[in-house]
A and B are shown apart, each in its own frame.
Chain A
Amino acid sequence: MKNPLTPIKAIIKDIRPEAEGVKTYTLSTEFSFVAEPGQFNMIGYPGVGEAPISLSAIMQVGDSTLRDGSFKHTIKSVGRVTDFLKDFKKGDELFFRGPYGRGWPVKKAEKRDVLIIAGGLGLAPLRPVIHLILNSRESFGDVSLIYGARNEKNMLFMDEFKIWEKDISLYITVDEVSDVSKSPHPPFTKEWSGGINVGLVTDLLDRVKIKPERVIAFVCGPEIMMRFICRGLMMHGMSQSSLYVSLERRMKCGIAQCGHCQHSGLFVCKDGPVFSYKEVRGLPDGVL
């Protein structure tokens, strides 16, 4: 019997620098890889280990970009595995297994307004949702992306913003301006060049028209950011059960065995990583 922990070989088709210390790897394997938005793979290399990395693009019905069954991971080098990956070149082999986990409830979002809220690297697991919406735009109501990064050097997928903003409303902000000469004077949340604001991502919530009964929100970013976004959205009248968050935990197996990602009886790898806010709000050992 096949061991579910057996890794699968993948070839790096393309690598592109995305932001400071962040690269997007396009991978392909012998079979056509299919996943759902919000799922992740365990990415690794023999002798180095494995790390859970969300998919930042996947083959979807009607998607013209990845019809060949390849898939993308947008990875920041921060740990043993991701540091090792940063020296990889096009054509190199690496290993993965997956897809794992429960992704974003995109079916539930149909016919509704969608708020996509991301902080920093948190935009990566949400990009497949954006692609899916753009591919069947008529199935959704008003769609807004609120995205914040530390500064413009840390901002992901900026080259796609122009395509995205044709169909969805973009609200972009940076915590700080890396080039001080371009900095606007306080108060924050003023528009800066290129339609980018300065201030925390939570500040932008007031800019978006939220019809609480129509809207569903997908939120991904640092846990502390998700806490304040969810609480902010609840102040706008949204219910906990229409807010979804994606959690990050240490994982070794991805298949609900190794126990590292356990969160009050939940396996983040299997029961998540996407949860409704209702399921995870206020649990111990988290800040939601």
Chain B
Amino acid sequence: MTGERTFQKFKRLIPKKAFLLWLDSLKKDYKLIGPTKTGRHAVFKEVDSSKELFMEYETTMLSPGKLFLYKPNEELFRFAMNGKITIDEIAPIAEKQIITGVHPCDVNAILYLDRTFLRTFKDPHYEARRKNTLIISLNCARVSENCFCSSVGAGPFLHAAGGYDMLLTNFESEYLVEIKSREAEELFGLEGRGAGQDEMRFKAEKEKSMHGKFKKNINVSGLDNIFAENMEHHIWQQTAEEKCLSCANCVMVCPTCFCYDLRDEMSMDLKTVTRYRCFDACQDMKFAEVHGGNFRQRRAARLRQFVTHKLGQTNQYGVLGTVGCGRCITWCPTGIDLTEITKEIQKFKVKS
């Protein structure tokens, strides 16, 4: 975690090989996590050596934040059911880890998860992992088919003020390394060559050229109101009827979706109950069900909840709920595209 004290921010150009060797040197104190190539896909996982890293990846199915910080499944308590019930709280495991090669969208997604788990009520498991995780972001050099981060200010280059440790930009055989936290400063011993105005100008040009490569763009201004005024727009019902399966793939791959369920599991000898937390999805029929009714009985209402939570409802955290990673579009089995739904509604707005 960053930003507590002032430190010397610096920018250096480091040969990629040297950088990767530096990562390997940290293996003795940190778990090293990064993008790897698995078949046709890239996957974030723990590696034994930087040789396994696939830093040129475009996108992954699952975001590093929802694999290594906010876990899909987390044991919270064990209740011993021997007459008088006692509670064993499961202590957070604070293993030191480095996640490298995190694209700007996924860093922004982690900052979004921070709003859920580190505000009024802190989640001790998330907090412990967050404190013990060094995040090395990598500015994007490629644009995937469904990326729209440039439209929502979450990429392709990272501009977040803090909450991560280092930022890399691809400079041919070198990385432009920008140190963003004290911990990273203390760890990073490589000298390389200092990056000056020329290099920063070159970086800005790279970013500018990236912006032109996006196939998906969306205008997010005033979306809160546009959605609010079109809650019964036919596109919701139509998409729900013709395409949506309520499979919740969109939610599962979304790096900002934070909803969870609490479940109890009793041991076979009936002596222990384990309460654990696991991802839950607003697309599930029972998600908003109460006695005597369901606030989102209709599939259209559930689809609308997902889309408006990503692109509207900024009253919740003061920021958009999407980072434009496009995973929900990529992994929707019937090709539902929240940017297309939004455009359809915006078209209607212009007409009316």
Contact = CB atoms under 8 A, between A and B. Distances in A.
Nearest to B121: A255
B12 interface: no
B296 A259 contact: no
A265 interface: yes
Interface in A261-288: 262-267, 270, 284-286
A10 B260 CA distance: 26
B262 A78 contact: no
Nearest to B224: A265
Q: Which 7 A-B pairs have the closest CB atoms?
A: A259-B259, A265-B313, A46-B79, A255-B121, A46-B273, A265-B316, A78-B291
Contacts of A258: 259-262, 280
Contacts of B290: 248-250
21 contacts: A2-B124, A3-B123, A3-B124, A4-B123, A6-B87, A46-B273, A46-B275, A47-B266, A50-B262, A93-B84, A249-B295, A250-B287, A253-B262, A258-B260, A259-B260, A262-B316, A265-B312, A284-B231, A285-B288, A285-B301, A286-B295
A210 B156 CA distance: 59
A1 B124 contact: yes
Contacts of B84: 93
B309 interface: yes
Contacts of B295: 249-250, 263, 285-286
Interface of A: 1-7, 9, 46-50, 78-79, 93, 95, 222, 248-250, 252-253, 255-260, 262-267, 270, 284-286
A40 to B, nearest CB: 13
Nearest to B77: A6
A249 B309 CA distance: 17
Most buried by B among A6, A48, A270, A286: A6
User: What DSSP secondary structure best describes chain A's contact surface?
Assistant: loop
B258 A250 contact: no
B261 to A, nearest CB: 6
A87 B208 CA distance: 67
Contacts of B275: 5, 46
A265 B228 CA distance: 12
Interface in B79-95: 79, 81, 84-85, 87, 89, 92
Nearest to A258: B260
Contacts of B81: 46-47
A265 B318 CA distance: 10
A265 B315 contact: yes
Contact of B127 (A1, A256, A267): A1
A3 B124 CA distance: 6
**Residue of A6, A93, A264, A266 with most chain B CB atoms under a 10 A cut-off:** A264
Interface in B215-262: 228, 231, 258-262
A149 to B, nearest CB: 15
B74 to A, nearest CB: 10
A5 B262 contact: yes
A7 B291 contact: no
A263 B288 CA distance: 10
Contacts of B327: none
A257 B85 contact: no
A257 B258 contact: yes
A248 B290 CA distance: 8
Contacts of A48: 264
Contact of A49 (B264, B301, B316): B264
Contact of B314 (A4, A253, A265): A265
A153 B55 CA distance: 69
B116 A284 contact: no
Contact of B262 (A49, A222, A263, A265): A49
Contact of A285 (B77, B262, B305): B305
A47 B120 contact: no
Nearest to B265: A47
A239 to B, nearest CB: 21
A4 B118 CA distance: 12
Given A47-B266, A49-B262, A264-B313, A255 B120 contact: yes
Contacts of B123: 3-4, 257
Contacts of B301: 284-285
A270 B292 CA distance: 23
B280 A47 contact: no
Given A264-B315, A267-B316, 15 more contacts: A2-B124, A6-B77, A46-B79, A46-B275, A47-B266, A49-B262, A249-B295, A250-B288, A256-B121, A257-B116, A257-B260, A259-B259, A259-B280, A264-B313, A266-B315
A248 B312 CA distance: 23
A284 B298 CA distance: 12
B122 A260 contact: no
B70 to A, nearest CB: 10
A260 B228 CA distance: 20
Contact of A260 (B76, B116, B120, B287): B287
B14 interface: no
B117 interface: yes
A79 B121 CA distance: 27
A169 to B, nearest CB: 30
Given A252-B261, A257-B258, A285 B121 contact: no
A7 B228 CA distance: 38
Contact of B122 (A1, A79, A249): A1
A260 B259 contact: yes
B344 interface: no
B309 A262 contact: yes
B103 interface: no
Contacts of B79: 46-47
Contact of B76 (A5, A250, A285): A5
Contacts of B313: 264-265
Contacts of B231: 284
